[in-house]
A = this chain, B = another copy of it.
Amino acid sequence: MADSKARFDELITALKERDFRLTPQRVELVRLIARSEGHPSAAQLYAKVRNQFPTMSPATVYKTLALLKDMGQVLEIDLRDDSHYDGNRPDPHPHLICTQCNKIVDGKLEFDLPSIRKLEESSGYQIVRPQITFYGLCPDCKRNSQ
């Protein structure tokens, strides 16, 4: 959350450019995303946005998230039970997910571009979006399980 105001403006501008309407609900959701530090789930964002708009429906959250995802502005992290979203680092990067408490943190791991090129050649696939997830135990749960 280097500068959530700047990120907010960035997202709003991106929406305007593509002629999507800036409804109050949508603006509020974008504000929450820009301000988010972790990797909130759709349900968590929904719960927060309902503070301002108690009648809002989940579908509205999903629709706007899908929009931002398609624009490449938020990164979806699909888990088994639900999806979480990274609204401040839309570039692909690895995630570490605790299998005990479900805590998600960003991983600092460089992609080995040459290897990916080789993989594209050997497989014939055109790779668009890498999704690298490391399941394991977070420091807290590791300690508690010992």
Contact = CB atoms under 8 A, between A and B. Distances in A.
A125 B138 contact: yes
A127 B99 CA distance: 10
Given A78-B79, A130-B134, A131-B133, A124 B108 contact: no
Interface string A110-143: 1010011011001111111111111111110010
Nearest to A133: B131
Given A79-B78, A132-B132, A119 B127 contact: no
Interface of A: 78-80, 83, 94, 96, 98-99, 105, 107-110, 112, 115-116, 118-119, 122-139, 142
Copies held by the complex: 2
A58 to B, nearest CB: 16
B124 A128 contact: no
Contact of A112 (B112, B116, B124, B134): B112
Given A110-B115, A130-B133, A130-B134, A98 B125 contact: yes
A127 B136 CA distance: 4
Contact of A125 (B83, B105, B123, B124): B105
Given A78-B79, A99-B129, 18 more contacts: A94-B119, A96-B119, A96-B123, A96-B127, A99-B128, A108-B122, A124-B138, A125-B137, A125-B138, A125-B139, A125-B142, A126-B136, A128-B136, A130-B133, A131-B132, A131-B133, A131-B135, A132-B132
